[in-house]
Amino acid sequence: MEEIKRLLLEEKAALLADIREKTGKQNKIHSDIGDAIDSSVEEQERELDLLLQDREQARLKGIENALQRMESDDFGYCEECGEDISKKRLLAVPLTRMCINCQSTEERSRLAQNAFSRADYSSQVLSDE
């Protein structure tokens, strides 16, 4: 588990540095006002940066949750069935909260639900015509 903890701490440090760098870049952009075309391009870049920051924040939260689970000895156990998550899986996907079987079941269920929702939507659209 120490190897996984080290990997999580390294990724956390890299994410924090990246977020700080992007925040500083955004502050600089706000102070430099250019012409209309530059402003449009800068706005698109800011939107992309914000989207990436949201993903980084979500990843950071996942890392912090994993580190907390390590401290409370809950790390490495599936939240669905309670069984051990294989070390190989934890090394590959350290933020995982489920064993491969439970994760697969959840993903199949989600895909089936999405397919059902699309089929239901399609039938509603077709019947409204």
The CATH number given to 2-77 is 1.20.120.910
Q: Bridge partners of 77?
A: 84
Kindly list the domain boundaries of the chain, sorted by start residue.
2-77
Q: What is the pLDDT of residues 68-113, one digit of tens each?
A: 999 999 999 999 999 999 999 999 999 999 999 999 999 999 998 8
- Does residue 117 or residue 11 have the better pLDDT? 11
> Does residue 26 surpass a pLDDT of 60?
no
The answer, as to whether pTM is greater than 0.85, is no
Identify the three-state secondary structure at position 84. strand
Q: Which two tokens stand for residue 58?
A: 């979500």
